[in-house]
Amino acid sequence: MKGQVLADFIAEFSPRSTDITCRVEVKPWKVFVDGASNVARIVVITPEDLKLQHSFRLSFRASNNEAEYEALLAGLRVVTDLGVKEVEVYSDSLLVVSQVQGNFEAKDPQMIEYLRLVKQMMSNFMTVKIERIARGQNRHADSLVTLASSIADEVPRLIRVELVPEPSITGH
Q: CA-to-CA distance for 32 and 132, rounded, in angstroms?
A: 10
Sign of CA dihedral 49, 54, 55, 60: negative
Confidence of residue 88 (pLDDT cuts 50, 70, 90): very high
Average pLDDT for 67-80: 94
Beta-carbon neighbour count of residue 153 at 10 Å? 9
Domain 2-9+26-164, what architecture? 2-Layer Sandwich (3.30)
The pLDDT tens digits of the residues spanning 96-150 come to 999 999 999 999 999 999 999 999 999 999 999 999 988 766 665 555 434 323 3
What pLDDT, on the 0 to 100 scale, is given for residue 148? 29
Global confidence as pTM = 0.72
Q: CA-to-CA distance for 57 and 49, rounded, in angstroms?
A: 26
